[in-house]
Amino acid sequence: MEYVSTGRAASDYTATINDLVTRARENPTWKREYMDAMMDTVRQQREMREAEEQGMAQGEHRRAMEAARRMLQDKLSVELAAKYTGLSVEEVRQLQKNMIQ
């Protein structure tokens, strides 16, 4: 506990640990490996966030397409289906063509 509050090693054991930590901090290879690992972690977190956002967007689009399909089945116009779902008129027209085939 003394080491934490004063920064001085009170025993040989604490002194050994302090020496090992100091050498590790000053080791350029260790620093590079540590920074590479940290950058990999940040990159993985960003990729996971982007994948999650993409998945959410795909799910929203799928739900909009399903809603538009039901609207077209109920004889709602392409324009109104596009307006209410947020899809483009072209997307709804393509959906309508696919339903006819």
Q: If you search the block for the tokens 């590479």, which residue do you land on?
A: 36
Q: Which of 96, 71, 93 is nearest to 81 (CA)?
A: 71
Question: Phi/psi class of residue 75: alpha, beta or left (left: φ > 0; alpha: ψ in -120 to 50)?
Answer: left
| pTM beyond 0.75 | no
Residue 54: pLDDT band (50, 70, 90) is very high
Residue 4: pLDDT band (50, 70, 90) is low
pLDDT, residue 95, reads: 96
Task: Report how far residue 53's alpha carbon sits from residue 55's, in angstroms, rounded to the nearest whole number.
Answer: 5
Mean pLDDT value across the chain: 91
Q: Maximum distance among all alpha carbons in the chain?
A: 84
Higher pLDDT, 22 or 59: 59
pLDDT, residue 68, reads: 97
**What's phi and psi for 52, nearest 5 deg?**
-65, -45
